[in-house]
Every structure is written in structure tokens, then in C-alpha cells.
Chain A
């Protein structure tokens, strides 16, 4: 069993839909990271959180430390949001453990 599990693996939605990507982890962490990787390959950091909720534009990330779960939400999704979204946790030994990613495709 992977230490970081993401769901769904693939998601196709229509433009404008509300998107939720989930991340569950089984190890103790000091922080959780949401990353975005576009088809060109570059990785961009979206959020780093250790508690609560963060919002940036149409993106919202939440984390529940007790339940070992985080969600990434996209409101009013747009085709340019199409990318792979990766959840990564920073464990107590300062290692980053990656999820397998969620491939999101937003149709116009």
C-alpha cells in the first residue's frame, strides 16, 4: 500500500464544474504539498499546508491532520486547469513522499 494515495487517478469534467481531488496518507507528516504539472512537464508548487485551509484564486486546499486527508478544490474549472495534480507529504524525517498524481482534463 502506498503511503500517499490520491483519488481519482483520472478525472474529466466540463468547463465550469467544481473539481475535488483527494489525498490520503498513512505516515506522520509535518506538511503536505499540492503540486501541478502541465503537459510541458514543469512542476509548480500550488500550496504547502500543515493545518486548516488555504485559498489562492480559484484553488482551495484543505487538510485534516486527524483524518490524514487533504483535498484540492478547483472552482469554475477552465481548460487551462488541465494538468496532473500531485499530492506530496513531508514526513517526520524530512523526506517528501509523492502520490501518483491525478490527471485532470477539463473540456471546453
Chain B
């Protein structure tokens, strides 16, 4: 089965350090989402890309977070500097958005569990 691959699965880092999370979307998918899940807030959309172009990153703290798609096979989410409140599970999802009215489906990665101490 095709899957969305996220690395690393777990990351523990000290406050102030840079963290980079990676996502390999399913080949052929043209839409990539980054989400964050915490106990308090549930799932929150951070950013998403269509055909590698960022469409919306309004959910992301701009001063420390950045999301990029250097190519169609890789999406990255970077936090610099990291803070304890960034501790969460970060999910990537990819899907194929077709023409208006077309079917869509999204597949989630297993997530990166980030702990900032």
C-alpha cells in the first residue's frame, strides 16, 4: 500500500534547538498538509501546499516555524528556535485534489512525536 512517510518518528530536543521534520508524500499526490495535535487543541492545520506552492500557512507561528517543499517528494517543517509549547505530534497528510467536483482523498503519515525540554 502507498503510504506517507514521516521522519523522525520521535524527537526529543532541548529548548532553543532547531528541529526539522520530514514528510514524503505519496507519489502523484499534489496536496500536502502539515498538522499538529495536542491534548488541549486537538488537530490544527499548520500549512498546506498544492503542487509544491504554499497555499495557506496562517495556522503557523511565522516567527519560528517554516514549511517548504523543495521537491515533489519531500515536504519539511522546521522549528527554530524550538520551545516547550511546541511539544506535540506533527502529522503530514497528502492527497490528490482534482478539478472542481472531483473526488479527493487524503492519507496521513504516522506522525512525529516532538518533545521539547
- Classify the interface of chain B: helix, strand, loop or mixed: strand
Q: B45 near A: Cβ within 8 Å? A: yes
Q: A27 near B: Cβ within 8 Å? A: no
**Interface contact A42-B108, CB-CB below 8 Å:** yes
The range of chain B's interface size is: 20 to 34
Q: A95 near B: Cβ within 8 Å? A: yes
Q: B2 near A: Cβ within 8 Å? A: no
**Interface contact B89-A41, CB-CB below 8 Å:** yes
Q: Give the residues in chain A near B107, CB-CB below 8 Å.
A: 45
**Quick one: which of A82-108 are within 8 Å of B by CB?**
86, 88, 90, 93-98, 100-101
How far does the Cβ of A63 sit from chain B's closest Cβ, in whole Å? Answer: 14
The residues of B with any CB-CB pair to A shorter than 8 Å are 31, 33, 42-45, 48, 50, 55-56, 89, 91, 93, 97, 101, 103-108, 110-111, 113
The residues of A with any CB-CB pair to B shorter than 8 Å are 30-31, 33, 35, 41-45, 48, 50, 86, 88, 90, 93-98, 100-101
